[in-house]
Amino acid sequence: AERLGGLLARRGWVVLTGGLGGVMEAASRGASEEGGITVGILPQDHPEEANPHVMIPVCTGLGIGRNVIIIRSAALVLAVGGGYGTLSEIAYALQMGKPVIGIRTWEIEGVIKAADAEDAFNKALGLLDQ
């Protein structure tokens, strides 16, 4: 996730996550270390709960309902690993007709498999630079 965040930032893309720890923090860290813009769509009401690599915290107070906002705001979804939150984001993206690229994530029809960060990035380039 950190490598992927860095690749996205180098391309000039905004990295949008749920703003908390784990994969979200790793992607934000990678992007911020490359000088990219990071946005965290937080489930809480307090911006200080964002991971330290989020430049723009968006407080929703919606709990897991914020996943809809994350997906609605994204051009495409890059799912890395993940639990049920990632599963819901994948489902929302597929319902909204947004491409989903996954690295070691849920195996669901419609999710484009990627082997690693570089593979996911290259697939994203192919989808967005059309």
Q: Above 70 in pLDDT, residue 99?
A: yes
Average pLDDT over residues 84-92: 97
Q: What's the start-to-end Cα distance of the chain, in Å?
A: 24
Q: What pLDDT is recorded for position 56?
A: 98
CB atoms within 10 A of CB 5: 30
Give the C-alpha distances (Å, rounded to integers) separating 1 from 6, 44, 59, 127. 9, 23, 23, 19
Give percent of the chain above pLDDT 90. Answer: 97
**Residue 23: closest CA among 91, 70, 75, 72:** 70
Convert the pLDDT of each residue in 28-82 to its tens digit. 999 999 999 999 999 999 999 999 999 999 999 999 999 999 999 999 999 999 9
pTM: 0.94
Supply the pLDDT for residue 130: 59
Going by pLDDT thresholds of 50, 70 and 90, the confidence category of residue 129 is confident
pLDDT at 15: 98
Q: Taking residues 100-108, what's their average pLDDT?
A: 97
Burial of 124 (0-12, 13-18, 19+ CB in 10 A): buried
In 16-30, which positions are buried (b, 16+ CB within 10 angstroms) versus exposed (e)? bbbbbebbbbbbbbb
Residue 116 confidence (pLDDT) above 70: yes
